[in-house]
């Protein structure tokens, strides 16, 4: 039995390190983009359009990962795109988490009318196709970083509310919660001291997961041309461009796609790994 | 009696949900800056022209009045006129619905086949490398959303090894006149297998992209459920009767393990349908989702309303069907 | 081989861990009832599971022989072993509430294996099932065969499982604590039913239980198991008159019906338990050397 457990634990550690490592790398890239990027990400040079990456024939020195149809450096655009992606991940992820988890905790612990109202809203939200909802909101709010963040919070708070509500409900039914209340704590105090710590592992896992989702939503919005202004470098925008010229210049699609893929994978694996690590039952 | 009451409550909550969706869309899209009417007129149109058209679409009234008028129409099956396409919304939306339905159902079929196979493999070879491989694959597939899978598939089967079409629903060169918009279904019924092959060639990648995350969920849930069932006494008893492992898993454990998986898959299927919006865009597939994005970009308010309501209706219907299936498949509830 | 079922030096280990059964040797004669007694955790259920080939995956058979009807099961390939077991033996499980498939009607649960594995005609199998349900005193067998398990009581379900075990006329039935999960009032009826069915069909029966009182009522011979080791194989009369092993004697003293009512119950004395522990350890050392 002990051996079987060991087998399970090892990949968790590896998973945490790999995903954490990639995200750390990305953070450095985002922070140091102006120094790391070999070119100006916005600089166009129509004579250098669709240059292949360095190992292929006809590559232009200095453009490591090639150029897009307007002659912009793919590597530099990826590095600068990391800035927007990470800002959206951090800010939108955290805000969504705080709002959604609070509502979920209240619904699950207070029950009664609070629960009924919040749950009804969750039901209505679940009946919206999320991508369409996001696009609609951006159309209303107008493009821009703040709009994207607001849209993500509005669409995705239900993800937290649903899960945390269920967890808070099962925790609230436990004897130790009842005894804390008998001991004279207020309901709100009990919620913070008894319920919250027990649902925290789930919240953390959901939060990292949500960061990955935020990055994807931003990419999708850029893809349909509704993110921030069209010329600032975003991964989604690069993918949209790459999609149209995939037969002539695959690298314009492949490199931002790999970056996005690894980032989303890292966020979700980090979430899973952290959840296992923090879960008192598994530990 | 209790059953009747449940159905009634169910119906009321469904109506409340749909009403809520309608109110939210209605309010949200009317805050849109930019005048949709001005966009449809040629430059140089007079203010009088604009006012006339606005009155025609009812935009000169208050939001509340507009909502009441719209609701009155909806009750009679009239969803208004599309501004950008100048046709009745109901007609446009119902014309595109079959394409999205066929895509979603194809994706569901793929997800069930792939996910089910993975779960069975993981159960048959439990505690081996195969089970580990199933777990890792499902975990990966689940972490990456359909949008990214779609892009990966385009690279794999559209560029690297171009075997499938990367855009559209059907090759324009095909010589066939459809009487319905259920192309795949109609081609099957009319035994036009060349057309079926072409349709599937177009549908394969978008459907697979939608199917991968759901397949992963099915694999995980069904495997877990099978694992729990495999320990139960009636499965052990079947073993002592001389049945082989395959029979024990497929005939004894699987039918009972499917049930708990079913309810969760229902919700996930609505997510899949929601995913068609961006996937249709990605593969230029002429369905409802693609039309919805165009409608948002064109600020076509009546069309947006119609499409969102139809999606909401679709989601609630899926949940209803899943609940009914659960009752039909569960002998305990069937006889209660 | 002296028995219809002969177990010789059967040893079972936790995979990569310690022993669960230590060189178990016992015989069940044709048409006889053999009791297998021991405290919970002694490993008595594992013997039944080892014979039927349903040991949990965490356990593995590391030595010994299991002879069923003159064939060493452990020498057979898995498919052949399943066939041999399915054709000659059957199980009456412990918990009737979980031992019937909740998604299938009763009828097929009895008849399917007759048709699938033994090649009976469907009508014959159904007639057989009706007769058997009648034999275990189930009213209106035709209706019951169309029912789902959840529509029937625990006692009914256990009767059905008994009928199902006898369906293919097996020559050995293993009953794994068949009355533990039932009400006390139902327990007696079920016990009598198993005993009657066994006599009428002449089936050998391995009766696994922790209850020496039950054993005294139905068994011809018995084995006493302690910590995975058989401490005594005996005929019933001799055992109750003159138990040889101190643990057996202590166990007997702890069973109500054999104790002087005035004296009350005597728990198994710690000294006896210590002595047995030493003996078991001694065996391990020998086996390891």
Could you give the angle at which helices B63-75 and B2-30 cross, rounded to 10 degrees?
A: 130
Q: Are C239 and C39 in contact (CB under 8 A)?
A: no
CA-closest candidate to residue A222, choices A41, A67, A84, A91: A84
Phi and psi of A132, rounded to 5°? -65, -40
C58 vs A: CB within 8 A: yes
Instruction: Give the number of other Cβ atoms within 10 Å of residue C50's Cβ.
Output: 24
Tell me how far apart the alpha carbons of residues B334 and B222 are, in angstroms, rounded to a whole number: 22
Strands C71-72 and C229-235: unpaired
Looking at the structure, tell me whether residues B19 and B114 fall in a common domain: no
Looking at the structure, tell me whether residues B160 and B274 fall in a common domain: yes
Provide the CA B274 distance to its chain's centre, in angstroms.
6
- Which chain A residues are Cβ-neighbours of C16 within 8 angstroms? 3
The DSSP secondary-structure symbol of B167 reads S
> Which of A129, A156, A222, A269 to mutate to test binding with chain B, by most B CBs within 10 Å of its CB?
A129
The CATH number assigned to the domain holding A75 equals 1.10.3720.10
Tell me how far apart the alpha carbons of residues C189 and C195 are, in angstroms, rounded to a whole number: 10
A125 domain-assigned: yes
Compare CB distances from A128 to B13, B281, B308 and report the shortest one's residue.
B308
Distances (CA, A) of C152 to B91, B208, C110: 54, 45, 15
Strands C221-226 and C33-38: parallel
Q: Are A209 and A268 in contact (CB under 8 A)?
A: yes
- Which chain A residues are Cβ-neighbours of B13 within 8 angstroms? 123
Compare CB distances from B144 to A129, A137, A261 and report the shortest one's residue.
A261
Phi and psi of C91, rounded to 5°? -120, 135
* Residue B102 pLDDT grade (very low, low, confident, very high; cuts 50, 70, 90): very high
Strands C172-176 and C204-209: parallel
Provide the CA A28 distance to its chain's centre, in angstroms.
17
Residue spans of chain A under pLDDT 50:
1-10, 282-283
pLDDT for A4 equals: 38
Mean of pLDDT values over B183-192:
89
How many structural domains comprise chain A? 1
Tell me how far apart the alpha carbons of residues C54 and C47 are, in angstroms, rounded to a whole number: 10
Structural domain range at position C217:
5-287
Compare CB distances from B241 to C86, C98, C150 and report the shortest one's residue.
C86
pLDDT for A230 equals: 59
Instruction: Give the number of other Cβ atoms within 10 Å of residue C79's Cβ.
Output: 11
Looking at the structure, tell me whether residues B270 and B127 fall in a common domain: yes
Which tens digit of pLDDT belongs to each residue from B298-310? 888 889 889 998 9
Q: Are C188 and C158 in contact (CB under 8 A)?
A: no
Copy the structure tokens of residue C76: 């057979």
Q: Are A25 and A282 in contact (CB under 8 A)?
A: no
pLDDT for B84 equals: 82
How many structural domains comprise chain B? 2
Looking at the structure, tell me whether residues B31 and B115 fall in a common domain: no
Q: What is the DSSP string of B196-263?
A: HHHHHHHHHHHHHHHHHHHHHHHHHHHHHHHHHHHTSHHHHHHHHTT--HHHIIIIIIHHHHHHHHHH
Structural domain range at position B42:
2-75
B182 domain-assigned: yes
pLDDT for B29 equals: 77
Which tens digit of pLDDT belongs to each residue from A154-178? 999 999 999 999 988 888 777 777 7
pLDDT for B149 equals: 95
Q: What ipTM goes with this model?
A: 0.86
Mean of pLDDT values over B185-199:
90
Q: Which residue has the tokens 């001799």?
A: C238
A168 domain-assigned: yes
Tell me how far apart the alpha carbons of residues C49 and A116 are, in angstroms, rounded to a whole number: 51
Q: Are C51 and C173 in contact (CB under 8 A)?
A: no
The CATH number assigned to the domain holding B172 equals 1.10.3720.10
Q: Average pLDDT over chain B, rounded to whole?
A: 86
CA-closest candidate to residue C252, choices C280, C228, C224: C224
Q: Which residue has the higher pLDDT, A82 or B51?
A: A82
A264–B145 C-beta distance less than 8 A: yes
3-state SS of chain A is: CHHHHHHHHHHHHHHHHHHHHHHHHHHHHHHCHHHHCCCCCCCCCHHHCCCCCCCCCCCCCCCCCCECCCCCEHHHHHHHHHHHHHHHHHHHHHHHHHHHHHHHHHHHHHCHHHHHHHHHHHHHHHCCCHHHHHHHHHHHHCCCHHHHHHHHHHHHHHHHHHHHHHHHHHHHCCHHHHHHHHCCCCHHHHHHHHHHHHHHHHHHHHHHHHHHHHHHHHHHHHHCCCCCCCCCCCHHHHHHHHHHCCCCCCHHHHHHHHHHHHHHHHHHHHHHHHHHHHCCCCC
Distances (CA, A) of B126 to B95, B119, B129, C60, C121: 47, 10, 8, 16, 36
Tell me how far apart the alpha carbons of residues A104 and A159 are, in angstroms, rounded to a whole number: 9
C94–B242 C-beta distance less than 8 A: no
Looking at the structure, tell me whether residues B142 and B232 fall in a common domain: yes
Tell me how far apart the alpha carbons of residues C40 and C50 are, in angstroms, rounded to a whole number: 17
Structural domain range at position A148:
14-26+64-278
B67 domain-assigned: yes
Distances (CA, A) of B208 to B92, B96, B285, B311, B315: 27, 20, 14, 21, 20
Copy the structure tokens of residue A246: 């995939």
pLDDT for C145 equals: 93
B90 domain-assigned: no
A247 vs B: CB within 8 A: yes
Distances (CA, A) of C220 to B73, C28, C44, C90, C94: 85, 10, 18, 20, 21
Q: What is the DSSP string of B118-148?
A: HHHHHHHTTTSHHHHHHHHHHHHHHHS-HHH
A259 domain-assigned: yes
Looking at the structure, tell me whether residues B141 and B231 fall in a common domain: yes
B250 domain-assigned: yes
B87 domain-assigned: no
pLDDT for B40 equals: 61
Q: What is the sign of the dihedral through the CA atoms of B299, B300, B306 and B311?
A: negative
* Residue B39 pLDDT grade (very low, low, confident, very high; cuts 50, 70, 90): low
Which tens digit of pLDDT belongs to each residue from B213-268? 999 999 999 999 998 888 888 888 888 888 888 888 888 889 888 888 888 888 89
User: Which chains form contacts with chain B, at 3 or more CB pairs under 8 Å?
Assistant: A, C
B315 domain-assigned: no
Tell me how far apart the alpha carbons of residues C159 and C155 are, in angstroms, rounded to a whole number: 6
Looking at the structure, tell me whether residues B46 and B119 fall in a common domain: no
B264 — alpha (psi -120 to 50), left (phi > 0) or beta? Answer: alpha
pLDDT for A32 equals: 87
- Tell me the shortest Cα–Cα distance from A188 to chain B, in angstroms: 30
C17 vs A: CB within 8 A: yes
End-to-end CA distance of chain B, in Å?
A: 11
Mean of pLDDT values over B291-302:
87
Q: Are A132 and B275 in contact (CB under 8 A)?
A: no
B307 domain-assigned: no
Phi and psi of B178, rounded to 5°? -90, 145
The CATH number assigned to the domain holding C143 equals 3.40.50.300
Looking at the structure, tell me whether residues B291 and B198 fall in a common domain: yes
Q: Are C38 and C225 in contact (CB under 8 A)?
A: yes
Q: Which residue of A has its CA nearest to C15?
A: A1
Phi and psi of C115, rounded to 5°? -75, -50
Tens-of-pLDDT digits for all 289 residues of chain C?
A: 467 899 999 999 988 888 889 999 999 999 999 999 988 778 888 999 999 988 888 888 999 999 998 899 999 998 889 888 888 999 998 888 888 988 889 999 999 888 888 888 999 999 999 999 999 999 999 999 999 998 998 889 999 999 999 998 899 999 998 888 788 888 888 899 999 999 999 999 999 998 888 888 889 999 999 888 898 898 888 888 888 888 888 888 777 655 444 555 566 666 666 766 666 555 554 444 3
C18 vs A: CB within 8 A: no
C82–B243 C-beta distance less than 8 A: yes
pLDDT for A23 equals: 94
Compare CB distances from C82 to B232, B237, B242 and report the shortest one's residue.
B242
Tell me how far apart the alpha carbons of residues C231 and C272 are, in angstroms, rounded to a whole number: 12
Output the CA angle A94-A99-A100, nearest 5 degrees: 95
Q: Which residue has the tokens 């027990």?
A: A198
pLDDT for A7 equals: 40
Q: Quote the percentage of chain B above a pLDDT of 70.
A: 94
C76 vs B: CB within 8 A: no
A53 domain-assigned: no
- Tell me the shortest Cα–Cα distance from B83 to chain A, in angstroms: 17
Tell me how far apart the alpha carbons of residues B138 and C132 are, in angstroms, rounded to a whole number: 47
Question: What is the SS3 assignment for C245?
Answer: coil
pLDDT for B30 equals: 76
Tell me how far apart the alpha carbons of residues B241 and C22 are, in angstroms, rounded to a whole number: 27
A47 domain-assigned: no
A9 domain-assigned: no
Looking at the structure, tell me whether residues B71 and B100 fall in a common domain: no
CA-closest candidate to residue B102, choices B306, B325, B289: B289
Phi and psi of C93, rounded to 5°? -80, 170
A58 domain-assigned: no
Tell me how far apart the alpha carbons of residues B291 and B29 are, in angstroms, rounded to a whole number: 16
Phi and psi of B47, rounded to 5°? -60, -35
The DSSP secondary-structure symbol of B158 reads I
Q: Would you say residue B100 has pLDDT above 90?
A: yes
Q: Are A64 and A53 in contact (CB under 8 A)?
A: yes
Tell me how far apart the alpha carbons of residues B265 and A5 are, in angstroms, rounded to a whole number: 30
C89–B237 C-beta distance less than 8 A: no
Mean of pLDDT values over B119-132:
90
CA-closest candidate to residue C54, choices B239, B228, B245, B247: B239
Distances (CA, A) of B321 to B16, B315, B326: 19, 10, 9
B184 domain-assigned: yes
């Amino acid at each position: 039995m002990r051996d079987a457990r060991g087998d399970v634990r090892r990949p968790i550690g590896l998973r945490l390190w790999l995903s954490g490592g990639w995200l750390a790398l990305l953070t450095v890239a985002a922070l140091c983009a102006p120094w790391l990027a070999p070119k100006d990400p916005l600089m166009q040079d129509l004579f250098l359009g669709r240059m292949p990456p360095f190992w292929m024939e006809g590559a232009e020195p200095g453009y490591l990962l090639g150029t897009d149809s307007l002659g912009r450096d793919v590597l530099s655009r990826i590095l600068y795109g990391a800035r927007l992606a990470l800002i959206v991940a951090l800010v939108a992820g955290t805000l969504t988490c705080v709002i959604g988890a609070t509502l979920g905790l209240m619904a699950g612990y207070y029950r009664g009318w609070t629960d009924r109202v919040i749950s009804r809203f969750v039901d209505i939200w679940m009946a919206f196709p999320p991508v369409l909802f996001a696009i609609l909101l951006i159309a209303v709010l107008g493009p821009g970083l703040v709009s994207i963040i607001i849209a993500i919070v509005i669409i995705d708070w239900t993800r937290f509310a649903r899960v945390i509500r269920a967890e808070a409900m099962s925790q609230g039914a436990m004897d130790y919660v009842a005894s804390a209340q008998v001991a004279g704590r207020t309901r709100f105090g009990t919620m913070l001291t008894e319920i919250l710590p027990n649902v925290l592992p789930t919240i953390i896992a959901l939060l990292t997961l949500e960061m990955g989702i935020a990055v994807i939503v931003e990419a999708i919005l850029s893809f349909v041309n509704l993110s921030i202004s069209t010329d600032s470098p975003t991964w989604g925008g690069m993918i949209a461009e790459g999609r149209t010229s995939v037969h002539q210049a695959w690298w314009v699609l492949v490199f931002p796609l790999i970056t996005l893929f690894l980032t989303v994978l890292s966020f979700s694996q980090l979430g899973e790994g952290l959840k296992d690590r923090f879960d008192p039952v598994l530990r | 009696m209790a059953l009747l009451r449940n159905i009634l409550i169910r119906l009321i909550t469904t109506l409340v949900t749909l009403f809520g969706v309608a109110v939210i869309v209605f309010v949200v899209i009317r805050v849109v800056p930019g005048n949709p009417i001005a966009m449809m007129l040629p430059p140089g149109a007079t203010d009088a022209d604009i006012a006339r058209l606005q009155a025609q679409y009812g935009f000169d009234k208050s939001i509340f009045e507009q909502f009441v008028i719209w609701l009155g129409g909806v009750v009679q099956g009239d969803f208004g006129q599309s501004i950008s396409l100048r046709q009745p919304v109901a007609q446009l939306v119902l014309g595109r619905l079959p394409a999205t339905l066929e895509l979603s159902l194809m994706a569901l079929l793929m997800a069930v086949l792939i996910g089910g196979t993975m779960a069975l493999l993981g159960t048959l070879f439990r505690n081996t490398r195969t089970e580990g491989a199933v777990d890792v694959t499902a975990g990966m597939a689940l972490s990456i959303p359909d949008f990214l899978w779609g892009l990966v598939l385009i690279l794999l089967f559209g560029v690297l090894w171009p075997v499938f079409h990367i855009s559209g629903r059907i090759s324009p060169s095909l010589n066939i006149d459809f009487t319905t918009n259920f192309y795949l279904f109609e081609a099957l019924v009319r035994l036009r297998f060349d057309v079926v092959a072409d349709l599937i060639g177009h549908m394969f990648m978008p459907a697979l992209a939608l199917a991968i995350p759901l397949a992963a969920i099915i694999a995980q849930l069904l495997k877990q459920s099978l694992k729990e069932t495999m320990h139960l006494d009636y499965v052990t008893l079947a073993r002592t009767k001389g049945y082989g492992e395959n029979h024990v898993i497929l005939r004894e454990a699987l039918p009972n393990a499917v049930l708990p998986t079913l309810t969760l898959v229902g919700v996930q299927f609505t997510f899949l349908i929601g995913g068609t919006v961006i996937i249709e865009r990605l593969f230029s597939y002429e369905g409802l989702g693609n039309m919805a994005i165009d409608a948002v970009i064109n600020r076509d308010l009546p069309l947006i309303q119609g499409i969102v309501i139809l999606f909401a209706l679709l989601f609630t219907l899926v949940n209803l069907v899943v609940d009914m299936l659960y009752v039909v498949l569960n002998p305990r509830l069937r006889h209660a | 081989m002296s028995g219809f079922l002969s177990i010789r030096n059967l040893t079972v280990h936790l995979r990569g861990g310690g022993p669960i059964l230590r060189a178990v040797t016992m015989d069940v004669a044709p048409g006889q009832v053999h009791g297998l007694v021991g405290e919970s955790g002694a490993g008595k259920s594992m013997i039944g599971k080892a014979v039927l080939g349903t040991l949990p995956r965490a356990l593995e058979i590391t030595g010994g022989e299991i002879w069923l009807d003159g064939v060493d099961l452990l020498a057979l390939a898995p498919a052949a072993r399943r066939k041999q077991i399915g054709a000659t033996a059957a199980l009456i499980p412990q918990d009737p509430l979980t031992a019937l498939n909740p998604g299938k009607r009763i009828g097929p649960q009895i008849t399917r294996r007759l048709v699938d594995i033994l090649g009976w005609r469907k009508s014959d199998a159904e007639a057989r099932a009706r007769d058997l349900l009648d034999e275990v005193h189930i009213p209106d067998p035709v209706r019951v065969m169309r029912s789902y398990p959840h529509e029937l009581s625990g006692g009914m379900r256990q009767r059905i499982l008994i009928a199902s075990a006898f369906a293919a006329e097996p020559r050995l039935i293993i009953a794994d604590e068949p009355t533990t999960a039932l009400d006390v009032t139902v327990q007696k009826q079920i016990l009598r039913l198993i005993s009657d069915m066994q006599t009428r069909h002449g089936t050998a029966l391995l009766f696994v239980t922790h209850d020496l009182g039950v054993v005294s009522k139905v068994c011809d011979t018995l084995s006493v198991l302690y910590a995975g080791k058989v401490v005594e194989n005996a005929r019933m009369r001799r055992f109750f008159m003159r138990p040889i092993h101190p643990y057996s004697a202590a166990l007997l003293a702890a069973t109500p019906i054999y104790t002087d009512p005035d004296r009350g119950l005597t728990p198994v004395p710690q000294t006896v338990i210590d002595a047995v522990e030493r003996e078991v350890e001694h065996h391990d050392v020998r086996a390891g050397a």
